[in-house]
Structure 1
Amino acid sequence: MRNIFPVLIFLVLSTNNVSFCSHINSYTNFELAHFLVNKDSGDKSDEENDKATTSNSNESNIQASAHKGERQKLISEVAEVGDGKGGRILCYQNKAPAAPESHNNPLKVVYSIKTPISTKSGSRYIPTTSERILDAPDFINDYYLNLMDWSADNIVAVALGSCVYLWNAQTGNIEQLTEFEEGDYAGSLSWIQEGQILAIGNSTGAVELWDCSKVKRLRVMDGHSARVGSLAWNSFLVSSGSRDGTIVHHDVRSREHKLSALAGHTQEVCGLKWSTDYKYLASGGNDNLVNVWSAASSGVGTASDPLHKFNDHQAAVRALAWCPWQPSTLASGGGTADRCIKFWNVNNGTLMKSVDSKSQVCSLLFSRHYKELISAHGFANNQLTIWKYPTMVKQADLTGHTSRVLQMAMSPDGSTVISAGADETLRLWNCFAPDPLAAKKSVSSSKAKQSVFRQSIR
């Protein structure tokens, strides 16, 4: 007759005192297990198997029946030993211990009713691949320069080699704004808050003002003895940071544009940002310093001495960002030897938090729609990282660049980030798209300021 295959019963075993019941004398008595599991259902299946295997010979049928009867008699005798109940094959002596409080069941997504893109903590879906890619040949791989900015009128300015280009993000049109003479180049670009005036800091130490609606240069403002690598607007005031270590405030309305020069750094000023309420100017330098300057009592420019001097970073500080909902909170990021993102309270000059990002920090931006921060990094992963603020729990890594991500800028509607990499590509990430339900409630959404990356770029 056919062999009776053992029934394998998978049980979750406690680590504490699991044993066979007392009436089982062998750890491998699978035939007994099979008998106990199937004894209530009778011998119907065995009889059917016997008939199927012995239909060609009456003699073999008699022999098989005799053998079967002897086997079942032996099993029955063993099974009746003990409590006589034909009990469980395996049993617990003690109750299984509860899982520790910190335990996170990795299989919950298998039986969760909710979709895996949303968790109970309220995390949102973040696309981790770029929405569009633009070629950026000759983008200068220099950590200390700021070669891209996005205007309130939805125009991206980017410096490639000795040229400055304008890309209309709504229409997709590209035009060349200017080309420098051989050997010269743009070191920084910055749009005025409203309108189409672009400031360009060049390699000779001058700041140029361009009316991009007319493709016309308005004026050239001197003031530095070395290249201008950082710029920041405050209404009619444009502040410039240079390799000569100084910061100059220019009043673009006046013929005598140079209001003052600040000497708070000993090396190149590579980061420069006005706070969202324009009460403070933050500067970062290759001397590893972060300086915070308070606005002048006259309302134009700043005090001549820094209000705070932060020297906790161990490498150059180029990445600076002011929190839009906490104007007194400044974020700064350090270079390769530092790798930290630090948060400062400029009201009292204290360090609130420091996080090791594990790689060079090239740029920082706060989201306007979420309590989040995005950082751009160099070696080893060349990624953009989104962090929850203020916990600094990592939300997502945005990958695609094959070399360090030198620059970021945000769209006027706050939904999209453009990144510029040393791999000579610009990538668009729709990582801060507002909640659709919240967007329906918003009445004032200008068509010109909606996300515009529907057309093919490459």
Structure 2
Amino acid sequence: MAQFNYLNEINSLATMDGPITRGPLQRWAKKSNSENINPLSTSFKNHSNINLSSCNQSMQKLSISANQSCNNSVISTNKTPTRNDNKKGKKTPSKNKSPGRSTTPTPNKASKTPNKADRFIPSRSNSNYDLCHYMMSRDDDKNEESVPQSAAAEAIGRALSDTEPGRLLQYTCKAPAAPEGYQNRLRVVYSQAKVPSSVKNTTRYIPQAPDRILDAPDILDDYYLNLVDWSASNILAVALGNSVYLWNAGTGQIEQLCTLEGSETVCSVQWVQGGGSHLAVGTSAATVELWDCEKIKRLRVMDGHTGRVGSLAWNMYIVSSGARDGNIVHHDVRQRDHAVATIHAHTQEICGLKWSPDGKCLASGGNDNLLNIWPIAQGQHYSQTQYLYSFNQHLAAVKGLAWCPWSAGILASGGGTADRTIRIWNIKTGANINTVDTKSQVCSIVWSTHYKELISGHGYANNQLVIWKYPVMSRVAELNGHMARVLHLALSPDGTTVLSAGADETLRLWKCFMLDPSKKKEPTDSKAAKSLLNMNSLIR
């Protein structure tokens, strides 16, 4: 019998069909243990408010059940497997596959271990276990310690606590009203309101090329002079060197008015108001000459300055002159003693001089960078020596001056190369309404009589004309063509054409303010024109 026992032991050792009884557990056994124990044990790691005693009891029960399942599925090491055991239906891993690489075998039917395919494994990335556990386990007691939450959970909790029970959305007070004058720029995206008829046709055709080009040889390239003026009777006066020429814009006829003697030059020209035929001429000899252009005759010579007269301005029968000596002299052309008043207005040369349309204010600009406003009350003498305002915001000589013809008390001024700005003033309040940097020297400014626009002539460095929209001062158009700085501007009597005189010795006519024929209005005579009907009989 001993020999049979020996053979049985050899056979049991050499048998390869039985399960492995020594060494670590097989992979499928480890998985069955981890599936029964690990998920529940890890779910309680992050919660401090769980009763530890209940956890220990549940863990003990799980360990007992896990041991029973392992005992049913794994054969004890102290028993030798036999062929009869294999015949009963127990399956063991294959010989040619190692336990580490083998796929999960089918568990024994007797053990009734659940299969992996029968379990539901939730997606943990799509679940917030912290928030779910907090919502399920929180108590209404406010003194209870709060469970750590994520930022999203805290936001949801605040939103739920702020609203009434059973409500997820709650309307609060209305949004604050917009400040006065605020306009939403995005309104055009969703607004379907009808556009007013006055706003529909805001664009018009502005020719980019001049309608006509005239030669102006020997025109002086001097920023401080005023050598061009267009009369109400459609006659253009141009000073070229020491001569003055008249060009009839209606017929195209050119006529020479006068020529100064010796080395004298013409420094300024200015037509009388109301369409008269009288022209004031300022000279380098510090005199002001009065000419009758119909008779081509000089009526008188008026003195009172010690320097060249570079600017002139008419107010009814008074012609005011500004000179290099910084003085303004008011000349009454009706009287033999013409010098009514002399005002020491600036410390340097006066290069800009303009009367307001109502004749109550005189604006003077000088090379001392000052803009002064001189009031003349109705019925008073012109000997007022105290200015109303003195503006020093410009950083260069103030030559470009223009009063708005359709808005009382509005004045536009332009500075030289070091300033390059156009400023809009309200003389009634003394306020600077708007300021725009033109990037170029401002030589002259003219207001349009048909549109709420003004046009400026520029020198260094762009040499162009720019049309500005009032009061926002946005660029409407830029007119290029001059090869040198645009020194002077003049507006035609009908208000449709602007003449520009440049240092390139050319005169260019731009039809930039043309009106729609259906919108043209009949011209009306102003009070100033009516009062000048008999002016020819008053001038001596």
TM-score, normalising length: structure 1: 0.70
Q: Aligned to 2:518, what secondary structure does the other structure show?
A: helix
Q: Is 2:254 the counterpart of 1:174? A: yes
Q: CA deviation at 1:299?
A: 4.0
Q: Is 2:431 the counterpart of 1:350? A: yes
In the alignment, the residues of structure 1 paired with residue 523 and residue 285 of structure 2 have an alpha-carbon distance, to the nearest angstrom, of 44
Match of 1:125 in 2: 205
5 Å-filtered alignment, 1:18-33, equals: none
In the alignment, the residues of structure 2 paired with residue 298 and residue 443 of structure 1 have an alpha-carbon distance, to the nearest angstrom, of 32
Q: Is 2:451 the counterpart of 1:370? A: yes
Relative contact order: is structure 1 or structure 2 higher (C-alpha 8 Å, sep ≥ 6)?
A: 1
Q: Is 2:239 the counterpart of 1:165? A: no
Letter in 2 for 1:130: P
In the alignment, the residues of structure 2 paired with residue 132 and residue 253 of structure 1 have an alpha-carbon distance, to the nearest angstrom, of 39
CA contact (8 A) 2:340 2:383 kept: no
Q: Is 2:512 the counterpart of 1:431? A: yes
Q: Is 2:216 the counterpart of 1:136? A: yes
Q: Is 2:359 the counterpart of 1:285? A: no
Letter in 2 for 1:125: Y
5 Å-filtered alignment, 1:49-448, equals: 122-194=202-274, 195-301=276-382, 303-439=384-520, 442-444=521-523
In the alignment, the residues of structure 1 paired with residue 524 and residue 386 of structure 2 have an alpha-carbon distance, to the nearest angstrom, of 42
TM-superposition CA deviations, 1:352-387 (whole Å, max 9, x none): 111101100000011000000100001222100001
CA contact (8 A) 1:232 1:240 kept: yes
In the alignment, the residues of structure 2 paired with residue 414 and residue 300 of structure 1 have an alpha-carbon distance, to the nearest angstrom, of 33
In the alignment, the residues of structure 2 paired with residue 142 and residue 410 of structure 1 have an alpha-carbon distance, to the nearest angstrom, of 21
Letter in 1 for 2:472: T
In the alignment, the residues of structure 2 paired with residue 427 and residue 196 of structure 1 have an alpha-carbon distance, to the nearest angstrom, of 24
CA contact (8 A) 2:331 2:340 kept: yes
CA contact (8 A) 1:363 1:376 kept: yes
1:237 and 1:102, CA in 2 relative to 1: closer, same or farther beyond 3 A?
same
1:302 and 1:434, CA in 2 relative to 1: closer, same or farther beyond 3 A?
farther
More deviation, 169-178/121-130: 121-130
Match of 1:77 in 2: none
Query: Between Structure 1 and Structure 2, whose CA radius of gyration is higher?
Result: 2
1:421 and 1:388, CA in 2 relative to 1: closer, same or farther beyond 3 A?
same
1:404 and 1:256, CA in 2 relative to 1: closer, same or farther beyond 3 A?
same
In the alignment, the residues of structure 2 paired with residue 309 and residue 445 of structure 1 have an alpha-carbon distance, to the nearest angstrom, of 35
Give structure 2 stretches of 5+ with no counterpart: 1-183, 190-198, 526-540
In the alignment, the residues of structure 1 paired with residue 346 and residue 284 of structure 2 have an alpha-carbon distance, to the nearest angstrom, of 19
In the alignment, the residues of structure 1 paired with residue 465 and residue 505 of structure 2 have an alpha-carbon distance, to the nearest angstrom, of 16
1:121 and 1:357, CA in 2 relative to 1: closer, same or farther beyond 3 A?
farther
CA contact (8 A) 1:237 1:301 kept: no
Q: Aligned to 2:519, what secondary structure does the other structure show?
A: helix
In the alignment, the residues of structure 1 paired with residue 313 and residue 470 of structure 2 have an alpha-carbon distance, to the nearest angstrom, of 25
TM-superposition CA deviations, 1:131-167 (whole Å, max 9, x none): 0000000000000000010011111000101111000
* Two-structure CA RMSD over aligned residues (Å): 1.9
1:348 and 1:443, CA in 2 relative to 1: closer, same or farther beyond 3 A?
closer
More deviation, 301-310/400-409: 301-310
In the alignment, the residues of structure 2 paired with residue 322 and residue 444 of structure 1 have an alpha-carbon distance, to the nearest angstrom, of 20
Q: CA deviation at 1:228?
A: 0.1
In the alignment, the residues of structure 2 paired with residue 312 and residue 387 of structure 1 have an alpha-carbon distance, to the nearest angstrom, of 21
Q: Which has the higher strand share?
A: 1
CA contact (8 A) 1:359 1:377 kept: yes
Q: CA deviation at 1:300?
A: 4.4
Letter in 2 for 1:393: S
Q: CA deviation at 1:241?
A: 0.2
In the alignment, the residues of structure 1 paired with residue 429 and residue 314 of structure 2 have an alpha-carbon distance, to the nearest angstrom, of 25
Letter in 1 for 2:240: L
Q: Identity of paired residues, percent?
A: 60
TM-score, normalising length: structure 2: 0.60
